[in-house]
Amino acid sequence: MSSSSAPASSPSAAKKLKVAIIGSGNWGSAIARIAGINTERHSDVFEKDVLMYVYEEEIKGKKLTQIINEEHENPKYLPGVKLPAHVRAVPSATEAAQGAHLLVFVLPHQFIGSVCKELKGKVDPSARAISMIKGVDVRDGDIRIFADVIEEALGVDCSALSGANIANEVAQDKFSETTIGHREGERGRESAELFFRLFDTKTFKVGMIEDVAGVSLCGALKNVVAIAAGFTDGLGWGDNAKAAVMRIGLMEMKRFSEEFFKGVKPETFTETSAGIADLITTCMGGRNRKCAEAFVKTGKPFDQLEKELLNGQKLQGTETAREVHEFLKARGKVDEYPLFRAVYSIAYEGFDVQDLTSKL
């Protein structure tokens, strides 16, 4: 595992690299801000201008792209935080990605399929991508990480970035760490070093590890555990119960990843920001935790709570619980992951939340 120090060698940049951010939600906007700061700071490597794909919507009769480009702020998804003026919002993923050398995918996982379909055949095959998506793609009894989905759809190599990164805190330059999982070989390492340059700052410390699958799966599966942690908060069960759920959750995350993906590294789970640290922060301060607590306290369904509490932001944990359940069911293995199963049953099958720990 590499720590967060400056890369030993940087690939020489014959021409400056153009960066596109595909996504502009809470995390998308926070990461676009950091990328914009660093394209200016490392102007020998990057083109200063960054294009950011914004899923267009109207706010008080005005287009969100227009508001962002005039006010340099995303008032819906990251209010109160200024973006560099050279981060420009565009309403088309194709326009943002055209000619880009570095593609940053940071959309809620349910929208990646349609965006990749749109981008197919339109990105430079020598471009490098990174997935900041916390979710998994489950279909036809199979499971894939989104870095693989992007690689296959677009024919570009794709790393992953995940960590203990509540977007609002990162956007205020409060200290945090994150982890890039990269592919093996020289090109994988080179990609990680370029993305390190694009994201590392004094308060956002980037580490690297050769483990795209482990980093991606930590980001996806901790959201399911965060739902369970939110349940314990809603029940008023206290800190010991929450810590127990987190410990059991981490074990299920690790076991699941090792069982279904080749080559994941155990230390990704226990030593990186993508692993244990993200699990902790999400179970303390994330949106999944918040909605799960409200689910217990109000009895309202998750889709209603998402609308009422998140103002357009998307919950990933409930969808992931459903997708993981579907995958495990197809393999006859649901009972081997009792915490994942309990979260699914409570969220989707009307099981009593008081039974959260009864089968653990």
Ligand X SMILES: NC(=O)C1=CN([C@@H]2O[C@H](COP(=O)(O)OP(=O)(O)OC[C@H]3O[C@@H](n4cnc5c(N)ncnc54)[C@H](O)[C@@H]3O)[C@@H](O)[C@H]2O)C=CC1
Q: List the single partner that 135 binds among ligand X, ligand 13P, none, CB under 5 to 8 Å by kind.
A: ligand X
- Contact between 316 and ligand X by CB under 6 A: the answer reads yes
Strands 102-105 and 17-22: parallel
Chain residues 165-194 in contact with ligand X, contact rule CB under 6 A: 165-167
Query: Is 24 known to sit in a ligand binding site?
Result: yes
What the block records as the tokens of 229 is: 């942690």
Cα 21 to Cα 126: distance, rounded to the nearest angstrom: 17
Q: Answer whether 156's CB lies under 8 Å from 127's CB.
A: yes
Exactly one of 18, 76, 205, 222 is catalytic; name it.
Answer: 222
* Candidate segments 96-104, 107-115, 246-254, 282-290, binder of ligand 13P by CB under 6 A: 282-290
Q: Answer whether 51's CB lies under 8 Å from 95's CB.
A: yes
Task: Look at residues 176, 153, 241 and name the one whose alpha carbon lies nearest to residue 34.
Answer: 176
Among 36, 84, 135, 188, binds ligand X (CB under 6 A): 135
Burial class (CB in 10 A: 0-12, 13-18, 19+), 348: middle
Dihedral angle computed from the Cα positions of residues 24, 26, 28 and 29, in that order, rounded to the nearest 10 degrees:
70
Task: Look at residues 174, 159, 45 and name the one whose alpha carbon lies nearest to residue 106.
Answer: 159
- Contact between 107 and ligand X by CB under 6 A: the answer reads yes
* Candidate segments 30-38, 179-187, 259-267, 286-294, binder of ligand 13P by CB under 6 A: 286-294
Write the interaction track for ligand X spanning residues 24-63; mark x where CB under 6 A is met and - where it is not: xxxxx--------------------------x--------
Q: Minimal distance in Å, beta carbon 226 to ligand 13P?
A: 5
Q: Minimal distance in Å, beta carbon 310 to ligand X?
A: 7
Q: Which residues pair with 58 in a beta bridge?
A: 63
Query: Is 207 known to sit in a ligand binding site?
Result: no
- Contact between 67 and ligand X by CB under 6 A: the answer reads no
Q: Minimal distance in Å, beta carbon 8 to ligand X?
A: 27
Q: Which residues pair with 207 in a beta bridge?
A: 179
Instruction: List active site positions.
Output: 222
Residue ranges at the known binding site for substrate: 134, 287-288
